[in-house]
Amino acid sequence: MNNNRTSAVDIAQNVRNNVKTAADFIEEHLARIAEHDGEIHAFNLVLAKEARARAAEIDEMVAAGRDPGPLAGVPVALKDNMCTQGIPTTCSSNILADWRPPYDATVVTRLREAGAIFVGKTNLDEFAMGSSTENSAFGPTKNPLDTTRVPGGSSGGSAAAVAADFAPISFGSDTGGSIRQPAALCGVVGVKPTYGAVSRLGLIAFGSSLDQIGPFAHTVADAAIGLETISGHDPGDSTSIQEGPLDLSRKLELGVAGLRIGRITDLPAGASPDVEQRTEEAFDALRAAGAEIVDVKVPAFSYGLTAYYLIAPAEASSNLARFDGVRFGMRTASTDTNRMYMATRTEGFGDEVKRRIMLGTYALSAGYYDAYYGRAQKVRRLIANDFSAAYEKADVLLTPASPTVAFEMGDKASDPLTMYLCDTYTIPSNLTGHPGMSVPFGTGDHGLPVGVQVLAPALKDDVMFQVGAALERSAPQRFTGSGEGGAS
């Protein structure tokens, strides 16, 4: 581990003030990537050449007296399901292995315009379906803190990239916890913003009504600046909010005095004792900082997982139907069109993707719709109602982000249901569209990091960050393990 990290905020300040060049920062990060990513495999693709060229441009701008923007020279890693013009965007799937999008995602455009430099495209569970990044067609990503363990998923590559300091900020997508759970497992900050706060244009869809892009960072302040950069209305995404960018960085020092922190008394059981204990300590820390702890009930919370595993696969079955071999991506030739579809999709998709396509197709089928998809949508409304009631009493809620610390590779790979339980605490906020973030808060078993999740009502991302920053200030050391097999 690199213990002399420079935050994104500091990098940008140094570059803008001409204290240190973007080229120098990029070389440092590329060197770490070259040294360690062979083992960690955070990246599907490292953009060394492009990053160096962009760093030179940034430095020229500074030399010419122009401001490259709030993320000037900051190395940024992108989950490989965000479209980058002319650069392979694979979703870690064979079906897209050679696909180069003809356009940039809105987040990519906004980051570039803010002066960020893309160092690479990060690994993920194929099409963002998984909780360990073991479902990648290009091999798993390892947890930089302990390479015998998973980084979580599906944005495991992005979480690992920040944990290994390959980049101070990375971006992932969160459909059921795919940012917050790997953030917890890798000991970094991970944020799923309010649905609609960040444009989904150019994000390759998994569950369109659930997907949201958000940042990973080593610090809450870096996550804030990363999210500020990418958020705000985009006319290209009909579901994006009408408001401008989120206003977060200015709120981080406000503290939590007078805020009501909700404890969900009927939270589904399942978190391991070490995680439970750290979560309790987080409540204590906030109370000590002046917050009031209140008990709330969210009775429908426990139905979230089942509703999610109908809604997300249903949308996925439709979203992934376009991968048919006709217009782009992989094609397996066959004797007629229907056989070509079948052969292409059979070869191109991995098992978990196929499983979810089948689940979703079934849930939407005539005769089953009412019992499955229709009922899941009702449960979704129920969960939203329960959260609304809870937020009458509390400003934010606190839960574990992941039921356990990072587990060993191969541990759950053969048992999808166990794997699905990883998202128990994160899924409800995707169903409601509310924001959630995972903040490292000390360690659990094996000295591995524990993440505490802060949940807030829609568009209260700023209050969530306010609490996240307070947690960060009082958090114990986030890694005390031996780092056996770790990347230094």
Partner 1 sequence: MSIAYINDDAFHPSNDDYERWSKDGWEMVVGLEVHVELATKTKLFSASPNRFGDEPNTNIDPVTLGLPGALPVLNRQAVELAMRLGLALNCTVQKSTFARKNYFYPDMPKAYQISQYDEPINIDGWLDLPDGFRVGIERGHLEEDTGKSTHVGGAGGRIHGSDYSLIDFNRAGVPLVEIVSRPDIRHPEQAKGYINELREILVAVGASDAKMEEGSMRVDANVSVRKPGENFNTRCEIKNVNSVRSLGRAIEYEARRQIALHEADEPVVQQTRHWDENDGRTHTLRSKEDADDYRYFLEPDLVVVDPGIEWIERVRDALPVLPAERRAILADAAGQSANSEAVMVVAERGQDDYVMDVAKLGGDAGVALKHVKEAPELAEQVPVESLATLSKMELSGVITASQAKTIVAVMIESQNVDPEVIAADLGFEAMDNSDLEAMVDQAIAGQPEAWEKFCAGEGKAMGALVGAVMKASKGQADGKAVTALFQTKKP
Binning the chain into helix, strand and coil, the percentages to the nearest 5 are 45, 15, 45
Strands of 58-188, DSSP E: 75-79, 117-122, 169-174
Whether residue 136 is preceded by a cis peptide bond, meaning omega within 30 degrees of 0, is: no
Q: 22, 83, 179, 450: which one contacts partner 1 (CB under 8 A)?
A: 83
Residue type, 288: A
Instruction: Decide: helix, strand or coil at residue 292.
Output: strand
Q: Which of 170, 221, 427 is nearest to 156 (CA)?
A: 170
Nearer to partner 1, 277 or 361 (CB): 361
What is d(CA 365, CA 18) in angstroms, rounded to the nearest whole number?
60
> Contact with partner 1 (CB under 8 A): which of 145, 227, 305, 364?
364
The CA distance from 182 to 165, in Å, is 15
Interface of this chain with partner 1, residues 206 to 225, rule: CB under 8 A: 207-209
Q: For residue 371, how many other CB atoms are within 10 A of its CB?
A: 11
Total residues binding partner 1 (CB under 8 A): 44
Taking alpha carbons only, the member of 120, 23, 5, 104 closest to residue 68 is 23
Cα-Cα-Cα-Cα torsion 131, 134, 137, 142, nearest 10 degrees, comes to: 110
CB of residue 476 to partner 1, shortest distance in Å: 40
Q: Rounded to the nearest whole angstrom, what is the least distance from the CB of residue 199 to partner 1 in the complex?
A: 9
Question: By C-beta, is 236 or 476 nearer to partner 1?
Answer: 236
Q: Does 91 bind partner 1 (CB under 8 A)?
A: yes
- Which residue's CB is nearer to partner 1, number 90 or number 229? 90
Owner of token pair 């089942």: 306
Q: Give the nearer residue to partner 1 in terms of CB position, either 99 or 283.
A: 99
Residues 109-168 that bind partner 1 (CB under 8 A): none
Q: Which of residues 312-331 bind partner 1 (CB under 8 A)?
A: 314-315, 317-318, 321-324, 326-328
**Active-site residue, selected from the candidate residues 132, 178, 402, 429:** 178
Q: Which is nearer to partner 1, 98 or 284 (CB)?
A: 98
User: Closer to partner 1 at the Cβ: 376 or 401?
Assistant: 376
CB of 86 to partner 1, least distance (A): 14
- Least distance from C-beta 51 to partner 1, angstroms? 22
Report the b/e string of 223-245 with b at 16+ CB within 10 A. Answer: bbbbbbbbbbebeebeebbeeee
Exactly one of 27, 237, 411, 445 binds partner 1 (CB under 8 A); which one?
A: 237
By the 10 Å C-beta count (0-12 exposed, 13-18 middle, 19+ buried), 3 is classed as exposed
The answer to the question of residue 205 lying near partner 1 (CB under 8 A) is yes
What would the x/- binding string for partner 1 be over residues 328 to 347, using CB under 8 A? x--------xx--x------
Of the candidates 93, 132, 136, 154, the residue annotated as catalytic is: 154
Sign of CA dihedral 274, 279, 280, 281: positive
Residues 386-405 that bind partner 1 (CB under 8 A): none
- The counts of H helices and E strands in the chain are 15, 11
Interactions with partner 1, residue window 162-201 (CB under 8 A): 200-201
Torsion of CA 378, 236, 436, 406, to 10 degrees: 100
Residue 79 a catalytic site member: yes
Look up 178 and say whether it is catalytic: yes
Closer to partner 1 by CB, 103 or 283: give it.
Answer: 103
Q: List, by residue number, the catalytic residues.
A: 79, 154, 178
Q: Binding residues for partner 1, per CB under 8 A?
A: 82-83, 89, 91, 96, 99, 101-103, 105, 200-205, 207-209, 235-239, 314-315, 317-318, 321-324, 326-328, 337-338, 341, 361, 364-366, 369, 373
